[in-house]
Amino acid sequence: MTSHQNHPGEPRPGDDGVREGEDLAALLERLLAKASGKTQKDLASEAGISYPTLNAWMNRTRGTSRVEPEKLRAMVEVFRRWGLKTTPREFFEAVGRPVPGPSRDEREAKLLRLYRQLPEARQRALIQDAEAMLQVSRMT
């Protein structure tokens, strides 16, 4: 028995990543199809986006090149709460924009998670290092 041959760039069976050339409408359609019982209205409401705007993106009657990064990230978070695997990268690529680095809030949350995992002595050392870095940065 032979298996299906994949060609370069072709999604592999079970590959849930962003599809080559997938725009925002196609991405949202794919994710909503996997979100059992969820609708465009649910997504709009939970992501803080007006339903007419989301619907226009889905119907490709409104451009997506200027969608605010916060709205893209909000949709990612909603789909994640619904149990779906998705990333900001998928959404930014779907609107044809480079993926920005982590937001300030994400960086701070990561730093806090790391800090909380350190033993107390290391936490104190990290604070001293941060204070020293701040002093050096003020000199430049």
The 10s digit of each residue's pLDDT in 33-55 is: 999 999 999 999 999 999 999 99
Class of domain 24-94: mainly alpha
Question: pLDDT digits over 67-90, tens only?
Answer: 988 899 999 999 999 999 999 989
pLDDT in the model for residue 77: 95
Is the model's pTM score more than 0.85?
Answer: no
Residue 29 to residue 32: CA distance in whole angstroms: 5
Give residue 139's identity as a one-letter amino acid code.
M
For the chain, domain boundaries: 24-94, 104-139
Cα dist from 4 to 26, 59, 125, 132, whole Å: 25, 34, 55, 58
Other CB atoms closer than 10 Å to residue 123's CB: what's the count? 14
Other CB atoms closer than 10 Å to residue 49's CB: what's the count? 20
